[in-house]
Structure 1
Amino acid sequence: MKYIIFILFTVMTNAAAQLMLKQGMMSMGPISFEGANPFVKLLQIVFSPWVFLGLCTFVISMASHLYVLSKVELSFAYPFLSLAYVAVAIFAYFVFREDLNGWRIAGIACICVGTILIAQSGREMDGRRHEDQTASINPDKIGTSEIVR
């Protein structure tokens, strides 16, 4: 649980990147590839300010996620990324005036409950090292399907 700050940083940067990408695509207006070189159009999209900032934020999010994966079990860390759905839905409601109806709120509640349950499962690892909890593959035995603990 001591890496929860890094996990939440990963979630928030992931959500922020989505919002930046949406803003970037909205500011560009409808995209049409008719009469345009697709490669040039793709470069225009990628290097538009909001899209580029969103992509850079994704890189930061991924770097944070890689750090988290080096410290905790994948089955613990990865489900927390679903909280990005929650953050995006809430911020999109306020920033872009997107719909947040009863079905979406129910889905958000389910995601939150599931994430809380997963977080509780991480408490039993606090006293043990992550490396002791996961199987490692011996490079000398690759191809023989032998896993060493």
Structure 2
Amino acid sequence: MNPISLFCILAGVALNATAQLLLKAGTNAVGHFDFTMSNIIPIGWRIATQPPIIGGLTCYVLSVVVWIVGLSRVDVSIAYPMLSLGYVVNAFAAWYLFGEVLSAQRLVGIGVILVGVFLVARS
């Protein structure tokens, strides 16, 4: 994989991970809610107008564009497993930004993901 192809794949992963973090920040701002017939429109509006959620959806759109460029250059059997790096990025970012727990079991899982991505990338 050449540097431009790697950049496209990693940029797609980074945009996708950023989208998830922004969506989480937006839902944190909205808070816990129950979907009922009486609140579906007010909650839907509140969700749709949260700047982090709008930013997250924008990142998703950009990630798809960058991902398509990456897929035009890299085999999907190599590119798709790279998306797993988003799990690693999000786990550490959620720990840092939102105070989520990184237990030993999660860290072992992250290690397994990293080994798997390394093996696929080297194939």
1:44 maps onto 2:52 in alignment: no
| In structure 2, C-alpha distance between the alignment counterparts of 1:112 and 1:4, rounded to whole Å | 16
Higher helix share: 2
Moved more, 91-100 or 32-41: 32-41
- Cα deviation, 1:46-70, whole Å, max 9, x if unaligned, reads 2211111101111111111111111
Count of aligned pairs:
121
Larger-Rg structure: 1
| In structure 1, C-alpha distance between the alignment counterparts of 2:112 and 2:9, rounded to whole Å | 19
Superposition pairs for residues 88-103 of structure 1, below 5 Å?
A: 88-103=90-105
**Correspondence for 1:80:** 82
Moved more, 96-105 or 45-54: 45-54
Q: CA deviation at 1:116?
A: 0.6
Partner of 2:116: helix, strand, or coil?
helix
**Correspondence for 1:16:** 18
| In structure 1, C-alpha distance between the alignment counterparts of 2:53 and 2:96, rounded to whole Å | 20
Q: CA deviation at 1:119?
A: 0.8
Where does the alignment leave 5 or more consecutive residues of structure 2 unmatched?
none
**Correspondence for 1:106:** 108
- Cα deviation, 1:8-30, whole Å, max 9, x if unaligned, reads 11111111111100000001111
- TM-score by length of structure 2 reads 0.91
Q: CA deviation at 1:40?
A: 4.7
| In structure 2, C-alpha distance between the alignment counterparts of 1:35 and 1:64, rounded to whole Å | 38
Partner of 1:95: helix, strand, or coil?
helix
Q: Out of 25, 30, 44, which is 2:27 matched to?
A: 25
Flag as ranges the 4+ runs of structure 1 deviating above 3 A: none
- TM-score by length of structure 1 reads 0.76
Q: Which amino acid aligns with 1:51?
A: I
Percent sequence identity over aligned pairs: 39
**Correspondence for 2:64:** 62
